[in-house]
Amino acid sequence: MNDNTLNATPRKCGNKGMARQIRFQDRVPGIFYYRNDINIPFSVDSVELSKLIRQKYSLINLSIEGYETRECVFRNIQRDPVYDGILHVDLMGIKRGQKLTVTVPVKLTGIPEGVKTGGGILQSNMNEFEIECLPKDIPREIEIDVSDLDIGHSRFIRDLEFPELKLLYDPGEVIATVVPPTIIKEVTEITEEEEEVEEGTETKTEETPEKN
């Protein structure tokens, strides 16, 4: 078996109860589709699926019992908002030589100059890119070097050059910025006694009556 092969079992489409039952068996429901031609519901082992996602393969060989192995890409991965477990996965079939639109993760590399010398903070505005390219050119991730950024400087979409990829964004969109360090003002606590003196509070003294 190739490292990028995902073994799956066909399933019947059902309600949420059936999907929960599949997850209870440590499997994940999913669907394979290719344009409007074919939809194949399936389930896959959750551990095998998670491992394949971590390896960030661009193309997946989906092997569903009773069907021919199909080359595809991850189109959508639905996760639990609390536990981050995978709830559902969509896989889209591809045709070699035909461009498609996919989403790939972005990785910032290097330590910005403004962070090293000025104590600045690197802010990332984009964790993934939506791109258009041929299936053979789909990257596992896109690395962007930010080591030359000083405080107040940004990396824009227009700064990137990928001849085989088309980034589906405005050229002026910001990918990452180095912002000035946060200044924390030290607040000096004033004791109650100091407050009284500062506010001019008079201290009353009790007079002792004179004895005849």
CATH number of 5-94: 2.40.240.10
- Provide the phi-psi class of 152: left if phi over 0, else alpha when psi is between -120 and 50, else beta: left
SS3 162: coil
Instruction: Characterize 14-45 residue by residue with b for buried, 16 or more Cβ atoms within 10 angstroms of its Cβ, and e for exposed.
Output: eeeeebeebbeeebbbbbbbeeeeeebbbbbb
Give me the CATH topology for the region 103-179.
RNA Polymerase Alpha Subunit; Chain A, domain 2 (2.170.120)
Residues 106, 129: contact at Cβ < 8 Å? yes
CA distances from 150 to 120, 130, 159 (A): 8, 27, 15
CB proximity list for 168: less than 8 A, separation 6 or greater: 101, 129, 130, 131, 132
> Domain ranges in the chain?
5-94, 103-179
What span, in angstroms and rounded, lies between the C-alpha atoms of 199 and 26? 68
pLDDT tens, position by position, for the chain (212 residues)? Answer: 457 899 999 998 766 778 888 998 999 999 998 877 778 999 999 999 999 988 878 788 999 999 999 999 888 899 998 888 999 999 999 887 889 888 888 999 999 999 999 999 999 999 999 999 998 888 888 999 999 999 999 999 999 999 999 999 999 999 999 999 976 555 545 555 555 555 554 544 445 455 54
